[in-house]
Structure formats: structure tokens, C-alpha cells
């Protein structure tokens, strides 16, 4: 299996590329496997025709008008098929480009106009679904996916730019495109960033530190302080277990870890292990117990303190909040503060990912080791932005023969980790399907009922305005579940770029925060009362947490101790271990259809 850092294979000719591609395909159909991973099966909609039929019967006049307009436009398209192109090139470059010349030819005009006509028809049909039921949302989503997948730009013979590039390069672009395709088949996913440009531990995740503790499911990294004195209360970061931890430590100029170190904090990071045979049976409780609570105990022991700060990102925040509730039930809670980044605790409105939930969606891996492939979940998330995260790369990588530029965020985004099946099914069942975390006592950990209202420590909750995975309105409702009145901030950007937002970056995304830090009863009221600041939320968070950091003391000279000796240098071997679960499941889907029936844990 190819490494994510291997460059696309090169060959002297298009013929060699075809040979490489044929070998990559193999008897098991690896090409189908690649697109099965990159293009997740859509929500099961066997009744979609019936849904649309009911919509047409409910609005017969609107449907008749739509159909009449479609047929009129279709006849006009056929009649104009052989007519000259109506528009002239607008610039000298366009006038001389092969792409513009080909695009004006009847074939390319026809397929482009035919697709536009079909898009209009599908849009009109879905407009007849004037209710907002889960069924209607899934129908609209599937239609949108079909529209994106059928775009003429996605196919060589209907993409004038690809044909022109092949002619201009005498087939070299075709050779490169086929080599890229063969490489990605071996890799098992579509390459979104130049894989040769990044290597974890070399130019990603390079902040100096050491692994000072590990369990079968995670390692604990302690970073070397960068200031002569440090806050006595350590900071423990819980990243999502879906991807690797280093999203918060990409490169020196956009590393949140380095920012926290520069602010004088002793920083600890959990590095999740990609699921394997040893951890395939792990549950949500195991991850809370061995990935959060035990790690916090080690951090406090090394820092010789009885309290710690807890920060969780995405599903890492959901784990952190679960752990925080369990800690709050203790006679003396060791939690100094809780920070949640783009985290859902109230799953009533899960956002766009909701189209994959309910009775029709996707299936957890049912292999002998019961491991859910992280690549399947990554594909489901990518499908929510299919044009930008799937078809853009199909066009540029395979049809135009280009190598994608090096982008650290996209490199991380493609570095998925496999997930234990029981953990994944519990997460879907208890959070997304039944929304049990918001109900006091509905979930428990080692006999202790989970109650978010019991969390009374200072809390900071961040949401991103353009987040399509955790809608900021849901993050706001989640913040209101905490017992203490948290500070809520809303950053510009999306789920990832909104969080990775260094104050001195090339594009600093601002944020909104209410002056008194209080949460209004609804999102519109909160936003109307918030103040916009053209600075990164990193600065706002630092100002909020520094008074809670405890007394300053000399920075430790070594990362470990006799009780917790250094295991290995950061970033550690867990983050370097490849995801290895097969990308197929019992029903070829991305989430369990009925996880409560499939869950054996």
C-alpha cells in the first residue's frame, strides 16, 4: 500500500501509465473501491420516485408548468445544436486558447446546455417538496449529488479544458492524469494535497515534545515549554478521534499548540491510535476513561497539581464534556476550566450531515475486527461539499493531469484514522439518533450519571459561522446545557479553518463575542447583541483563560518522571500508523442503518 507521502508514479509514456492503471485495477476492481471511498453511497432512497410523485400530485399546476417549460427548452436546445456559438471570446487570451475554441464547438455547447437544462428541471422538481421533513431533505441532497456528479467537467470527453490540455501537451497531461489515478487507487483515496510536500514529524507536527504515557487507544504527548516560567495548571487537549491530532499543531506559523506554549501553558495532547485488532472492541466509555480521565491524571501528576484545563475539539469536545460531567460528580472536582471548539452536545439539529442519519443511512464496518474505516466517514463529510472536496480534484488530478498544491489542512483532512465499531455505533445511536447527552442521567460512566448541568467550572465555547458539520446554532444550544454560564464566541470560517486561525496569519478570521459573555435564548438574539472583532479567537481565548492558569513557576527541565518516563519523542508512533481497515461494509454504506440493532457492546 502506498504511503500518503509517496509522489504519483511517473512513466515515460501514456502507454506505461495505462499499464500502471491496469495493474492498479487488479481483479478485485480497485478503481471501484477508490470511488466507493471517495464518493459515499447516498442515503437509501428506494422510495424517492414515490416521494416526487406525491409532490407532483400535490402541486399539479406547478408540475405541468415546469414540464411544459422543460420540453420547450429541450426542443429549443435540439434546434440550436448546429447553430454557431452566439458569444465571442472576451479577452485576447481566451480568443487564442484551445479551451475557448473547443468550448464553442457544438458538442461541448450541447452537453453544457443539456446539463444546465437538467439542473433546472431537478431544481424545479425538488422545489415541489415544500416541506422540511427529513425525507424531503434527503431527496434534495441526493438530487444535488447527482447534479454535481453529472457535471460535464467531470468527464474527459465533455471537458474542453481537458481535451485542449491533452492536445497542447501531446498527451502528456493524459499520462500524468492516469498516473495520478493509479497512485490514488493504490492510496485508497483522492489526493487533495501534494503528498510529497508533507511528512508528519518533519514539517507537520514538529513542536518539540515527548510521549510520556500510552494506553492501547491513545498516547499522551507533553510539549516542551517555550517560556522560562509556566502556569501551574496544565492544559490537556482532546482532538477528534476521526482524524489525527496534529490539526492543532500543523506548522510553526499556524500551530495552536505553539500559541498556548507561548502563553506560558504546560500543554498536553492526546494522540488517538487508529483502531486495530487490539482496540476493535473499545467503547465510548473506554475512550472517556482511558483517553481523557487517565491522561488528565498523568498530566496533573507530572505538573504536581490537583487541577487541569480541558480543551476538546469536535467529537473530542463531546468526549471532554462527558468526562467533565463525570469529574463534576466527584467531591472535589479537579477541572479548572472547560473549552469546547466546534462541539455538539445537543444533537437535535445536526446540520447537513443529518441526511446520512435516521433509518436510511450508511453502515459501520462489520469485519472480523469490527472496525469502521475512517475513510468512509471522511468521504461522507466531503460529500457535503462535493464540488470543492471531490469533483474539483477529479477534474484537476485525473483529467488535467495536475498535482494538487501543498495545503497542510487538506493533507490532514485526508489522514483519516479508523474507529472501533462499538465506539462509532454508540456515538451515532446515543448522540445523533437519540440525543441522550442532553438528558440528565440518560448516559452513565462507571455508574455515574452524566449531567451537563453539573459542569459549573468556567467554560469557553467556540463555534464557526460557516461550519457545515457543527452548525453554530447547535453549538450555541449545546453551550446553554452547561451548568456554568460559558463564554461563547463565533469565529469566521468553517469547521477547520475557523479553528486553525493564527493571529498573525495571512488571512486572520475575526470573531463575534457578547460583551458580557452571556448566551441569549436564541441564536438571532445572541448574534444581534454580539460585537465583531477583527482578531483571532485565539487571542480572546488566551485573555479568558490566563487568569485561570494558576501561579507561575519555573518551566520543568524534563518532560517525564520516574513514575512516567519518556516513551518516545513526539509525534509518537500512534500518529504515524496507517489506517488499515477495509473500506467496505455489510451494506456498502457510511453509517449504520439501525445501530441500536447492530450494537453488541
pLDDT for 573 equals 96
For 334, the grid coordinates are 479537579
In order of 130, 132, 269, 373, 538, the CA distances from 498 in angstroms are: 33, 28, 20, 26, 10
**pLDDT tens column, 496-521:** 999 999 998 788 999 999 876 667 76
Query: Inter-axis angle of helices 172-187 and 30-38, to 10 degrees?
Result: 80
Residues of the chain with pLDDT below 70 are: 1-48, 82-99, 358-369, 516-518, 521, 580-601
Question: Is residue 157 within 8 Å of 163, Cβ to Cβ?
Answer: yes
Return all residues near 205 (Cβ < 8 A) that are at least 6 apart.
Answer: 245, 246, 249, 250, 570, 571, 575
- Specify the DSSP class assigned to residue 41: P
Catalytic residue among 276, 303, 314, 580: 314
Instruction: Specify the residue for cell string 448516559.
Output: 443
The C-alpha atoms of residue 164 and residue 97 are separated, in whole angstroms, by: 8
The C-alpha atoms of residue 101 and residue 83 are separated, in whole angstroms, by: 15
Question: What domains are there in the chain, each with its CATH number?
Answer: 14-198+379-406 (no CATH), 209-346+443-570 (3.40.50.1820)
pLDDT for 126 equals 85
How do 209-214 and 530-533 pair as beta strands?
unpaired
Paired residues of 68 in beta bridges: none
CB-CB neighbours of 93 under 10 Å: 9
Task: Identify whether 601 is preceded by a cis peptide bond (ω within 30 of 0).
Answer: no
Which segments within 359-422 are labelled E, that is strand?
A: 371-372, 419-420
Question: Is residue 456 within 8 Å of 484, Cβ to Cβ?
Answer: yes
- Cα-based angle 356, 360, 464 (whole degrees, multiple of 5): 15
The C-alpha atoms of residue 601 and residue 588 are separated, in whole angstroms, by: 22
pLDDT for 14 equals 44
Backbone angles phi, psi at 505, to 5 degrees: -75, 170
pLDDT for 500 equals 97
Residue 314 annotated in active site: yes
For the whole model, what pTM was predicted? 0.85
Question: Is residue 421 within 8 Å of 364, Cβ to Cβ?
Answer: yes
Which segments within 281-358 are labelled E, that is strand?
A: 308-313, 335-341
Amino acid at each position: 500500500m502506498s504511503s500518503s507521502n509517496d509522489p504519483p508514479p511517473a512513466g515515460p509514456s501514456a502507454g506505461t501509465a495505462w499499464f500502471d492503471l491496469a495493474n492498479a485495477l487488479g481483479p478485485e476492481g480497485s478503481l471501484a473501491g477508490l470511488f466507493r471511498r471517495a464518493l459515499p453511497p447516498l442515503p437509501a432512497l428506494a422510495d424517492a420516485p414515490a416521494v416526487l410523485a406525491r409532490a407532483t400530485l400535490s402541486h399539479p399546476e406547478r408540475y405541468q408548468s415546469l414540464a411544459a417549460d422543460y420540453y420547450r427548452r429541450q426542443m429549443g436546445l435540439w434546434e440550436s445544436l448546429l447553430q454557431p456559438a452566439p458569444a465571442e471570446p472576451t479577452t485576447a487570451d481566451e480568443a487564442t486558447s484551445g479551451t475557448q475554441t473547443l468550448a464553442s464547438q457544438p458538442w461541448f455547447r450541447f452537453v453544457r446546455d443539456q446539463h444546465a437544462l437538467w439542473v433546472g428541471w431537478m431544481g424545479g422538481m425538488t422545489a415541489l417538496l415544500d416541506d422540511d421533513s427529513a425525507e424531503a431533505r434527503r431527496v434534495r441532497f441526493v438530487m444535488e449529488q447527482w447534479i454535481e456528479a453529472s457535471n460535464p467537467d467531470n468527464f474527459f470527453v465533455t471537458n474542453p479544458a481537458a481535451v485542449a490540455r491533452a492536445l497542447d501537451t501531446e498527451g502528456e497531461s493524459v499520462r500524468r492524469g492516469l498516473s495520478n489515478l493509479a497512485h490514488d487507487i493504490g492510496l485508497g483515496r483522492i489526493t487533495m494535497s501534494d503528498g510529497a510536500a508533507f511528512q508528519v514529524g518533519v514539517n507537520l507536527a514538529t513542536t518539540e515534545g515527548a510521549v510520556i504515557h500510552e494506553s492501547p487507544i491513545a498516547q499522551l504527548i507533553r510539549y516542551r515549554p517555550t517560556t522560562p516560567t509556566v502556569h501551574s495548571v496544565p492544559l490537556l487537549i482532546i482532538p477528534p478521534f476521526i482524524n489525527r491530532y496534529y490539526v492543532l499543531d500543523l506548522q510553526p506559523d499556524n500551530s495552536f499548540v505553539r500559541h498556548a506554549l507561548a502563553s506560558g501553558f504546560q500543554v498536553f495532547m492526546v494522540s488517538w491510535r487508529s483502531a486495530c485488532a487490539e482496540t476493535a472492541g473499545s467503547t465510548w466509555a473506554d475512550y472517556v476513561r482511558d483517553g481523557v480521565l487517565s491522561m488528565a491524571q498523568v498530566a496533573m501528576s507530572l505538573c504536581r497539581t490537583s487541577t487541569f484545563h480541558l480543551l476538546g475539539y469536535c467529537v473530542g469536545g463531546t468526549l471532554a464534556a462527558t468526562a467533565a460531567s463525570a469529574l463534576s460528580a466527584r467531591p472535589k472536582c479537579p477541572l479548572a476550566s472547560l473549552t469546547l471548539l466546534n462541539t455538539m452536545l445537543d444533537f437535535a439539529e445536526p446540520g447537513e450531515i443529518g441526511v446520512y442519519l435516521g433509518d436510511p443511512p450508511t453502515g459501520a464496518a462489520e469485519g472480523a475486527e469490527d472496525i469502521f474505516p475512517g475513510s468512509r466517514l471522511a468521504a461522507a463529510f466531503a460529500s457535503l461539499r462535493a464540488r470543492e472536496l471531490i469533483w474539483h480534484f477529479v477534474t484537476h488530478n485525473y483529467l488535467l493531469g495536475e498535482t494538487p498544491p501543498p495545503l497542510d489542512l487538506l493533507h490532514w483532512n485526508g489522514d483519516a484514522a479508523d474507529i472501533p465499531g462499538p465506539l462509532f455505533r454508540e456515538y451515532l445511536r446515543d448522540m445523533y439518533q437519540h440525543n441522550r447527552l442532553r438528558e440528565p442521567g440518560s448516559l452513565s460512566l462507571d455508574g455515574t450519571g452524566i449531567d451537563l448541568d453539573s459542569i459549573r467550572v468556567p467554560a469557553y465555547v467556540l463555534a464557526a459561522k460557516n461550519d457545515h458539520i457543527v452548525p453554530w446554532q447547535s453549538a450555541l444550544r449545546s453551550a446553554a446545557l452547561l451548568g456554568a454560564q460559558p463564554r461563547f464566541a463565533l469565529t469566521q470560517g468553517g469547521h477547520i479553518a475557523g479553528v486553525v486561525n493564527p493571529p498573525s496569519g495571512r488571512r486572520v478570521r475575526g470573531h463575534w463575542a457578547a460583551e458580557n459573555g452571556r448566551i441569549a435564548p436564541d441564536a438571532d438574539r445572541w448574534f444581534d447583541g454580539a460585537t465583531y472583532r477583527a482578531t483571532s479567537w485565539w487571542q480572546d481565548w488566551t485573555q479568558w483563560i490566563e487568569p485561570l492558569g494558576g501561579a507561575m513557576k519555573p518551566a520543568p527541565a524534563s518532560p517525564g518522571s520516574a513514575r512516567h518516563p519518556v516513551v518516545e519523542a513526539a509525534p509518537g508512533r500512534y500518529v504515524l500508523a496507517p489506517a488499515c481497515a477495509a473500506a467496505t461494509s455489510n451494506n456498502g454504506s457510511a453509517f449504520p442503518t439501525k445501530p441500536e440493532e447492530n450494537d453488541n457492546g
